[in-house]
């Protein structure tokens, strides 16, 4: 299990890690193209985890649920992507990692939580280290 909110470098993941696809599962109407699916997939390639600038974080808490990021989700973070308004980012605030959305308001950039059920104060982005940009996420649906 990945540690909570600690970056995990992925550059040393063994190449050639391949999972077999059992079949396509429709989320709508069955597709006649299902027979054309590949029979193998590399999660390393699919999630682009073989890059030296890619890291993985496990999210702790519910401050980003309205953005589709839930407690215990895993996110892939790129350190070499320039953060812009609207990006979900990992930032260092008060010595700890937080996941927030970078937003602009009144000519100032802010880090804002995305949970309409709880009140979170936005954090001014000025003087805060934006550690990386969240690119993708993985969720365990069994919980």
Beta-carbon contacts of residue 84 (< 8 Å; ≥ 6 apart) = 102
Residue 117 lies in a domain: yes
Q: Tell me the helix, strand and coil percentages in the chain, rounded to 5.
A: 10, 35, 55
Dihedral of CA 105/109/115/121: which sign? negative
- What's the whole-model pTM score? 0.72
Q: How many domains does the chain have?
A: 1
pLDDT digits (tens, 9 = 90+) for 83-134: 999 999 999 998 889 999 999 988 889 999 999 999 888 888 888 899 999 9
Residue 85 lies in a domain: yes
The number of angstroms, rounded, from the C-alpha of 23 to the middle of its chain's C-alpha atoms is 26
Q: Which tokens go with 119? A: 């009140």
CATH number for the domain harbouring residue 64: 2.10.109.10
Residue 132 lies in a domain: yes
Question: Residue 118's domain spans which residues?
Answer: 52-138
Residue 108 lies in a domain: yes
As beta bridge partners, residue 103 has 110
Residue 25 lies in a domain: no
């Amino acid at each position: 299990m990945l540690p909570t909110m600690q970056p995990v470098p992925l550059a040393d993941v063994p190449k050639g890690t391949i999972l077999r696809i059992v079949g396509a599962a429709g989320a709508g109407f069955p597709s006649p193209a299902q027979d054309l699916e590949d029979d193998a997939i590399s999660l390393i390639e699919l999630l682009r985890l073989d890059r030296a600038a890619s890291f993985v974080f496990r999210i702790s808490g519910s401050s980003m649920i309205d953005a589709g990021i839930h407690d215990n989700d895993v996110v892939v973070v790129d350190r070499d992507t320039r953060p812009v308004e609207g990006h979900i980012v990992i930032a260092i605030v008060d010595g700890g990692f937080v996941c927030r959305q970078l937003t602009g308001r009144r000519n100032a950039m802010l880090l804002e939580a995305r949970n309409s059920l709880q009140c979170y104060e936005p954090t001014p982005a000025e003087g805060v280290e934006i550690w990386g940009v969240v690119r993708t996420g993985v969720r365990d649906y069994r919980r």
